[in-house]
Structure 1
């Protein structure tokens, strides 16, 4: 997230630049939209949709955060009615929601050994979770939200926590707040396409979504005062935003358009001003010092070398701080490897979970209880 393209990408794809895009020449924008629409139809005709046709049914529920915000969540038990060995909690990134884990929510409950129970939830102001006050949209609060999810949906037994992008930062915030939880219950940690900090090292003050950029504040204010105007611009620029999403989310520009549609749908479901509420906390994130708190767990670090949102070097830095971590490098892959190369990520997560289960056994941790 220290790269200036992060803020450009998330802002544009999230609709911020879409609002600013009203000032773009109409003729140029129309031609670009037409080109993207044609490309989109061509790819759709050439490919079979890669998103799973059927997904395991989960129990939808809600968790109340410590400040009263309702978080939408879901639990998926192991296939075949098996008793779970551990609980895997999947935490999505900025501007997305729990649909990020479409492939993993299908594959993980099907694991033979260990039997895995999966918990997913939407971060505050994302997906189906309740819109939160601007002042509460901080990584510190996201760490507390994750703690609320664990206390409510996984109060006992060993844990494997997996976070993508801002979700990985959420895990680091929780580790900073509750190091004893990681020593006592967290047997595995997965950090996918994320950063531990050094956020000011790449000229953030001059970037589109920097907290110092008046455009960010202006668009956020406009979205609050005239939400219909901003959302209208988003709709008009939908093909442009789709093309930008494909460019920055994926390394392979011939990726199945259904996967781009999925990301585009997730981003579009979030209000523009809800996304700008997180700018300050992302811009000041620095939790390098919290990384040693993860060392008591098995750690997986995975990222694509073509990630234009959070450069691969950030994952290298995390792995360097955790010498026993397993670093999975995905050549040519973008910011969403769990979608773009889901089979590789599934295999890496399976290895992490298996190592975590072995680590948890000597601790004598009780298995998670099946919820009625």
Structure 2
């Protein structure tokens, strides 16, 4: 793969291209995305890790560490912050949609990984982005996507989520989430005026399963606090409209894995089962006691599944060569 020099992140001195440094990629509508690449530039395939709502590329830190510890794997890794998240620029008005995220991903791949097979892994909204990529860029998916991993995500019916609460409580929680999204859309500041200690309890309750590590909860809360509020609100509304069960058909026949925690409140287990039903050849892994943040709660398990997926794809590609 050809190394492409990118403009450095704002506030940092210019530096030559290096695979372990962060970079900036500017989309066709002028939105700067924060990108990080690692691994051998000459690897025969690229593993692309797409994070979820309110998070950023750091979601995958523990998985990447575990992946690297598991020995020689023929893959380069590409991570980036979705628009409105992490160190990427806020989503421009009207662009905080999953459709736009799919277009961003297609542009990023064309610029940074112009050839070679791809394995795509998406957590939560990142998985939805991959589904939207299959819907909006079918030729790219057919020609280059050789494997896919869906981690704690959904192919639809997100407007019916009750956060694991029964009856009226669940209905009220869902209504509150919609009202909060509308309020965030009108928020004019770049960051929420909250302290980590303020969001820690809610983060622990909503997105983690049994006995989470404090460092993991702090990490997830810290990522939430640097997400752009209005962008977060827009994406929540787009998530509620997400319906891409049909799009999954474009991924049939490719090596795939679906990973889910049985205590996930945001994308409950039946949502993962619905994806697996559309991809009958996919491996399905259920993690007892785990919540929504599988890349934190079960990092070694997620990494092991990605290693297996990458090696399977590499073997298939080798047989075709």
Structure-1 residue corresponding to 2:176: 208
Q: Is the 8 A contact 2:181 2:234 kept in 1?
A: no
- In the superposition, the TM-score normalised over structure 2's length comes to 0.85
In the alignment, structure 1 residue 342 sits paired with structure 2 residue 310 = no
Judged with a 3 Å threshold, the aligned counterparts in structure 2 of structure 1 residues 110 and 256 are, in CA distance, closer, same or farther, namely: closer
The aligned counterpart of 2:270 is: 313
Measure the CA separation in 2 of the matches of 1:346 and 1:216: 32
Equivalent position to 1:329, from 282, 286, 289: 286
- Please name the residue that 2:64 is paired with: 105
Partner of 2:168: none
Instruction: List per-residue Cα deviations over 1:214-255 (Å, max 9, x = no partner).
Output: x5424532x22xx49x844x23xx4342011112221123x2
Which string of whole-angstrom CA distances, capped at 9 and with x for unpartnered residues, describes residues 117-140 of structure 1? 100000001001111213011111
Deviation at 1:304, TM superposition (A): 0.2
Higher relative contact order (CA 8 A, sep 6+): 1
**Cα distance in structure 2, aligned partners of 1:61 and 1:264:** 24
Larger helix fraction of residues? 1
Question: Distance between the aligned counterparts of 1:216 and 1:122, measured in 2?
Answer: 20
- Matching residue of 2:15: none
After superposition, the C-alpha distances for 1:310-355 in whole angstroms (9 at most, x for unaligned) are 1011000100111000001101100011111111111111111111
> Any conservation in 2 of the 1:182–1:296 contact (CA below 8 Å)?
no
CA contact (8 A) 1:76 1:109 kept: no
Is the Cα contact below 8 Å between 1:305 and 1:311 reproduced in 2?
Answer: yes
Number of aligned residues: 295
CA distance in 1, matches of 2:303, 2:262: 18
| Structure 1: distance between partners of 2:308 and 2:83 | 30
Deviation at 1:199, TM superposition (A): 3.0
Normalization by structure 1: what TM-score?
0.74
Give CA-to-partner distance per residue, 1:63-121, whole Å, 9 cap, x none.
Answer: 1212121111011023xxx8312100000000000000011222334554432110000
The 3 A distance-change label for structure 1 pair 218 and 339 is: closer
Unaligned runs of 5+ in 1: 1-55, 365-372
Find the counterpart in structure 1 of residue 221 from structure 2: 264
2:48, 2:121 within 8 Å by CA — same for their partners in 1? yes
Structure (1 or 2) with the larger CA radius of gyration: 1
Question: What is the CA distance between 1:173 and its match in structure 2?
Answer: 0.5
Report the Cα distance in structure 1 between the residues aligned to 2:184 and 2:52, rounded to whole angstroms: 22
SS of residue in 2 equivalent to 1:327: strand
The question of 1:220 aligning with 2:185 is answered: yes
What is the Cα-based RMSD across aligned positions, in Å?
2.2
Q: Name which of 10, 13, 20 aligns with 1:58.
A: 20
Query: Any gaps of 5 or more consecutive residues in structure 2?
Result: 1-17, 163-170
